[in-house]
Amino acid sequence: MNEPQCATANGQKPGGIRTGHGIAFRLSALVLSVVGVIFVAMSGATYFLAREALLKNAEQSARTQAQALVQRIETRLAPISRVAQGLGYDLEDGLLDDAGILRRQRQALLDNPEIFGTAAAFEPFGRHPDQEYFAPYTFRAPLGITHIGLGGAVYRYHAMDWYQIPRQLKQIVWSEPYFDEGGGNTLMATCSVPFYQGEGDARRVAGVTTADVSLDWLKRLVASVQVLDTGYAWLITRNGTYVTHPAPGVAFNETIFSRAEENHDPDLRRIGQDMIRGGSKLVQLKSLHTGKPGFLVYAPLPSTGWSLGVFSPRDELLADVNRLALVSAGLGGGGFLLLAALVPIIARGITKPLRRLCGAAREVAGGHLDAALPEVKSRDEVHDLASAFANMQTSLKEHIRDLTAATATRERIQSELRIASEIQLGILPKTFPPLPRRNEFDLFASLTPAREVGGDFYDFFHCGQDCFCFLIGDVSGKGVPAAFYMAVARTLIKAVAESVAGAGQRRGADPAGTHQRRIPDPGRILARANEGLSQDNDSCMFVTVFCAVLDFATGEVRYASAGHNPPVLLRAGAAPEYLPTHGDPVAGAMPGVVFSTDTLRLHPGDALVLYTDGVTEAMNPAQELYGEERLANRLASLMDQDVRTTCEVLAQDVHAFASGAEQSDDITMLVLRYNGSGPEGAEAGETTPDES
């Protein structure tokens, strides 16, 4: 049903809203008013600030409680190591005889009720030359303090951990807790301290002093810690063994790592690793004892290397926060429901013109470009949108007409480019081997254009008696201009080469009728071709060319380069090397250029690899170039391959290096391998002057 379009005399709709106000203004004013009332009522921001403050206080309280317990334990344990150290210092100074050692030990027990017993164990024959074992031990017996001597065939203390570990580490070591049967019949731990004799380089371990401590008080102390309602504390040794734990049967029977493995808990395993390394941290985890999530604070006991953990349940730490969260959730939920009821009513009233315009847009999208648009009388963004949509209909119809014409033109151009590509590739020689009757050499070439047409080319042909010309080139630029210039350059170079070869044969014949072969000069070929290419070259195009002539009989190669990449020479038993060039300029840029000619001799099995810069400048997605070093290394692995395989494998390697990156230049390669002038090759190579 259509809404009435009534207005007051002053140009305002009922309700006092001016028709000139935009849709964004009306929607924002109404929604922000409702949201402001709700958020003022519920004071939502207060909840988050309170929650963070309470959480920090809870965490700090847990840390403080753990540190306080560590200090209480350290207060009892720290003096014990000093007692053993003090006895060791007296032994190092030589102040005690055998009786003095016993008196010193007895006095230590009287002064330190936590110590159950103390020993001074010497190195073999270290105290008395005739005694391998000497270790007076003073301890608390049921009838009082007494003394015994440790060591003998049954008790070889030199090989025991409490003696060997501090002796080797040369530091104070606390043993793993153990139950002392027959002695104190109680839970014990031993603090071992090495003492020394000598000075400087002669300083050596003379023995180990010990202090045995009953740990019953430690179990009671840790168990007495009250952590909220269901929290608890536990203690592990430097190897992860539980000394105390609220769960029955865990202490001294399990380690933190065995419990982690049994319950498949990698977090507990990482915590245990940090604890035995002396770490101190507050972490969140789920208790294996109570099943509750919470906070674990752990800290080391410096004197023993053990570690204390205090677990606080999260729900108890955050009880006040949770109550505040429930109140805030109730207020926020009520506000959300109120907002959810109001926004649809407001949005439907404002967006009704938009829905009508959307229906017209669907018709246009379905192909009905002449669909009628709804009339919008209000002067707001909806009116502007309807006007823009009408303009779009007109522009879209014009664009479709233009696109249809452009598509037809593009398809015609693409068809012509495909034909041009076929013609361009068709003029390049494709017969391999090029001279089936000649066995002195093998040759293979390939060209992979980057576009439909390009500027790379190669060529090879018979030029004179027992001579074979082969070349490769790369025209500047891309596309159709480069393709035209390539065709001109290839045709001109071949015509000049055949002309130079014919002139050389005529000059090379002597009156006696003997035939002296004259190998055509590649430098002269390029110079004459350059003159033709540089004439009327208004487009300033040029071409790089490497041209070479092979003498079948001798393996001699004469070559010249017009600014082209240096070919790679592959000799049997040697590393690939790049042919030296003279840095001569490109062909076609300017007349009067002289190109240098060099000579090399190929031995049977040697090969030349010609290529364009599309090989060495191939680029992968990381913007890295294939490069000359990579090319030489790859060719080194292809020394024993035939020319076709070498060319194909190298092309595959370049494409694999590019890893899908767009090919930016033509990739052209020509590989020639010299087989030598054997009897078979000589017979096949016999020609008359007319044939050449």
Q: Each residue of 554-577: pLDDT tens digit?
A: 999 999 999 999 999 999 889 999
- Nearest 10 degrees: CA dihedral of 72, 74, 79, 84? 140
Q: Would you state the pLDDT for residue 119? A: 93
The helix (run of H) or strand (run of E) holding residue 551 is strand 543-551
| pLDDT(27) > 70 | no
Cα–Cα distance measured from residue 148 to residue 174, given in angstroms and rounded to the nearest whole number:
22
Q: Are 205 and 91 in contact (CB under 8 A)?
A: no
* Cα–Cα distances in angstroms (integers) from residue 293 to residues 44, 250, 296, in the given order: 27, 20, 10
| pLDDT(619) > 60 | yes
Burial of 278 (C-beta count, 10 Å sphere; 0-12/13-18/19+):
middle
| pLDDT(418) > 70 | no
Write a three-state SS string for 331-359.
HHHHHHHHHHHHHHHHHHHHHHHHHHHHH
Cα–Cα distance measured from residue 268 to residue 274, given in angstroms and rounded to the nearest whole number:
10
pLDDT cut 90: percent of the chain above it: 34
Peptide bond into 481 cis (omega under 30): no
Name the DSSP class of 318.
T
Cα–Cα distance measured from residue 612 to residue 88, given in angstroms and rounded to the nearest whole number:
83
For 442, other C-beta atoms within 10 Å of its C-beta total: 19
Q: What φ, ψ does residue 451 adopt, rounded to 5°?
A: -125, -170
**Residue listed under structure tokens 């210039």:** 485
Burial of 626 (C-beta count, 10 Å sphere; 0-12/13-18/19+):
buried
> Is the torsion defined by CA of 21, 23, 28, 30 positive or negative?
positive
**Residue listed under structure tokens 């004071």:** 43
Cα–Cα distance measured from residue 497 to residue 223, given in angstroms and rounded to the nearest whole number:
103
Confidence at 424, pLDDT banded by 50, 70, 90: low
Count of residues for the chain? 692
Q: Would you state the pLDDT for residue 513? A: 41
Cα–Cα distance measured from residue 306 to residue 81, given in angstroms and rounded to the nearest whole number:
14
Q: Are 133 and 157 in contact (CB under 8 A)?
A: yes
| pLDDT(676) > 70 | yes
Cα–Cα distance measured from residue 416 to residue 371, given in angstroms and rounded to the nearest whole number:
40
Q: Would you state the pLDDT for residue 192? A: 93
Q: Would you state the pLDDT for residue 469? A: 95
Cα–Cα distance measured from residue 469 to residue 692, given in angstroms and rounded to the nearest whole number:
12
**Identity (one letter) of the amino acid at 122?**
F
End-to-end CA distance of the chain: 97
Q: Would you state the pLDDT for residue 464? A: 79
**1 compared with 138, residue with greater pLDDT:** 138
Q: Would you state the pLDDT for residue 688? A: 32
| pLDDT(425) > 80 | no
Instruction: Compute the chain's Rg from CA coordinates.
Output: 48
| pLDDT(611) > 90 | yes
Cα–Cα distance measured from residue 652 to residue 477, given in angstroms and rounded to the nearest whole number:
25
Cα–Cα distance measured from residue 6 to residue 22, given in angstroms and rounded to the nearest whole number:
18
For 403, other C-beta atoms within 10 Å of its C-beta total: 11
Q: Give tens-digit pLDDT for 112-140.
A: 988 999 999 999 998 999 999 999 999 98
The helix (run of H) or strand (run of E) holding residue 496 is helix 479-508
Confidence at 220, pLDDT banded by 50, 70, 90: confident
Q: Give tens-digit pLDDT for 570-604.
A: 998 899 999 998 889 999 989 999 999 999 999 99
| pLDDT(6) > 60 | no
Which residues in 473-503 are b (16+ Cβ under 10 Å) and which e? bbbbbbebebbbbbbbbbebbbebbbebbee
Q: Would you state the pLDDT for residue 683? A: 37
**361 compared with 577, residue with greater pLDDT:** 577
Beta bridge partners of 180: 186
Confidence at 7, pLDDT banded by 50, 70, 90: very low
Burial of 210 (C-beta count, 10 Å sphere; 0-12/13-18/19+):
buried
Please give the distance of CA 258 from its chain centroid, rounded to a whole number.
34
Cα–Cα distance measured from residue 306 to residue 77, given in angstroms and rounded to the nearest whole number:
11
Write a three-state SS string for 391-422.
HHHHHHHHHHHHHHHHHHHHHHHHHHHHHHHH
Confidence at 287, pLDDT banded by 50, 70, 90: confident
Q: For the chain, which domains are there? A: 96-214 (3.30.450.20), 218-317 (3.30.450.20), 428-508+516-684 (3.60.40.10)
Which residues in 182-193 are b (16+ Cβ under 10 Å) and which e? ebbeebbbbbbb
- 3-state class (DSSP) for residue 54: helix
Q: Would you state the pLDDT for residue 40? A: 67
Q: Would you state the pLDDT for residue 302? A: 83
**Identity (one letter) of the amino acid at 10?**
N
Q: Give tens-digit pLDDT for 523-554.
A: 999 999 999 999 988 888 999 999 999 998 89
Cα–Cα distance measured from residue 595 to residue 586, given in angstroms and rounded to the nearest whole number:
10
Q: Would you state the pLDDT for residue 525? A: 95
**683 compared with 609, residue with greater pLDDT:** 609
* Cα–Cα distances in angstroms (integers) from residue 161 to residues 167, 207, 253, in the given order: 9, 13, 20
Tokens of 608: 């030349």
Cα–Cα distance measured from residue 55 to residue 314, given in angstroms and rounded to the nearest whole number:
10
Q: Would you state the pLDDT for residue 682? A: 40
Count the alpha carbons within 13 Å of 603 in the hemisphere toward its beta carbon.
5
| pLDDT(689) > 60 | no
Average pLDDT over residues 37-64: 71
Mean pLDDT in the chain?
A: 82
Confidence at 630, pLDDT banded by 50, 70, 90: very high
Q: Would you state the pLDDT for residue 143? A: 87
Q: Which residues contact 518 (CB under 8 A, 6 or more apart)?
A: 464, 504, 505, 507, 508
**3 compared with 367, residue with greater pLDDT:** 367
Q: Would you state the pLDDT for residue 544? A: 95
Beta bridge partners of 673: 442, 607
Q: Would you state the pLDDT for residue 442? A: 94
Q: Give tens-digit pLDDT for 169-212.
A: 999 998 888 776 545 567 788 899 999 998 888 889 999 999 99
Cα–Cα distance measured from residue 57 to residue 55, given in angstroms and rounded to the nearest whole number:
5
